[in-house]
C-alpha cells in the first residue's frame, strides 16, 4: 500500500494556496481545484509513480522531499532531480503517449496535492500563468539534463561529487547546525552524481581528509565551498 492513512489536519493537507498548482491558478479557480484535488500522503520509501506507467494525473508537492529517477544500465538508477514543497511531478507524462518516463519516490514522508490529467489540461487552457510556469519547468529541466550529461562526459568523479554537494546545498540550504539540509543515503548521492557507491565513498573520504567537508551520520557539512567549486571547473 503506497499511501498513509488519510488525515484531515490542516498541517498535512494542501491549503489551496502554496502548492505549484494553486499558487499559479486564477483566484476564481481555487474552489474548483479544491473540489477536484485529492490529498495524498506517502511514507518514506513509497513509490508515487513508476517509469512506464500510464500517466493519469499530476502531483504537486505540499510538504516533504521526492526523488525523480529512472533506470540506468543494468539494475542501476540515475536520480534526475529532487523535488520539494512547491514543486510539480508527473509533467513528463504529458504528450501523445501519456506515460511517465521517470519514477518518483518519497525519501521522507510526503504530502501531495493530486489532480487528474483531464482536469489539469483544462486548467492550462484558462490559467495562462500556470501554462507559463509549466513551460519554465520544461525549460529548466532540459537545461539541467544537458548540464548533467555534459558533466558525465567532461568531469572526473571528484568534480562531479563536488558539484553534487554544492547543488544540494544550493537547493536545500543549510540547517541551523550548518549541514546541508537534506538527509540522503550514500546510494542516493551516488545515483544523483552518476557514479557507484564505492567510488562515492572513496571520494568523500578524500574530501574529509582534505578538510573540504565533514560528515556526521547522514549530515554533510561543507567546510570549504570555494575549494569544492574550484574542483568543478572543467579544464
CA distances, 118 to each of 23, 56, 94, 115, 138 (Å) = 19, 8, 11, 8, 19
Say if domain 10-152 classifies as CATH 3.40.640.10. no
Q: What is the pLDDT of residues 32-42, one digit of tens each?
A: 888 888 999 99
pLDDT at residue 3 in the model:
41
Residues in the chain: 235
Q: Which three cell numbers stand for residue 50?
A: 513508476
Per-residue pLDDT at 8 exceeds 50: no
Domain 156-231 falls in which CATH fold? Arc Repressor Mutant, subunit A (1.10.10)
Query: pTM for the complete prediction?
Result: 0.84
Per residue in 59-91, pLDDT (tens digit) is 999 899 999 999 877 768 899 999 999 888 998
Q: What are the pLDDT digits (tens) for 125-175? A: 888 888 888 888 888 878 877 777 777 777 899 999 999 999 999 999 999
Higher pLDDT, 41 or 7: 41
Q: What are the boundaries of each domain within the chain?
A: 10-152, 156-231
- Four-residue CA torsion sign, 197, 199, 205, 207: negative
Amino acid at each position: 500500500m503506497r499511501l498513509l492513512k488519510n488525515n484531515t489536519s490542516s498541517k498535512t493537507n494542501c491549503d489551496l494556496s502554496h502548492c505549484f498548482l494553486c499558487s499559479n491558478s486564477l483566484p476564481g479557480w481555487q474552489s474548483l481545484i479544491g473540489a477536484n484535488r485529492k490529498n495524498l500522503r506517502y511514507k518514506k520509501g513509497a513509490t508515487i509513480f513508476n517509469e512506464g506507467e500510464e500517466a493519469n494525473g499530476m502531483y504537486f508537492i505540499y510538504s516533504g522531499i521526492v526523488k525523480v529517477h529512472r533506470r540506468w544500465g543494468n539494475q542501476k538508477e540515475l536520480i534526475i532531480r529532487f523535488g520539494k514543497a512547491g514543486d510539480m511531478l508527473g509533467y513528463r507524462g504529458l504528450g501523445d503517449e501519456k506515460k511517465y518516463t521517470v519514477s518518483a519516490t518519497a525519501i521522507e514522508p510526503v504530502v501531495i496535492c493530486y489532480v487528474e490529467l483531464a482536469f489539469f489540461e483544462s486548467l492550462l487552457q484558462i490559467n495562462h500563468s500556470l501554462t507559463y510556469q509549466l513551460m519554465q519547468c520544461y525549460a529548466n529541466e532540459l537545461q539541467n539534463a544537458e548540464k548533467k550529461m555534459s558533466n558525465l562526459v567532461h568531469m572526473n568523479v571528484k568534480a562531479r561529487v563536488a558539484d553534487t554537494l554544492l547543488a544540494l546545498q544550493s537547493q536545500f540550504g543549510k540547517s541551523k547546525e550548518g549541514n546541508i539540509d537534506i538527509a540522503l543515503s550514500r546510494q542516493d548521492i551516488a545515483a544523483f552524481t552518476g557514479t557507484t557507491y564505492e567510488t562515492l565513498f572513496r571520494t568523500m573520504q578524500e574530501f574529509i581528509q582534505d578538510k573540504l567537508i565533514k560528515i556526521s551520520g547522514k549530515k554533510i557539512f561543507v567546510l570549504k565551498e570555494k575549494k569544492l567549486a574550484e574542483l568543478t571547473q572543467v579544464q
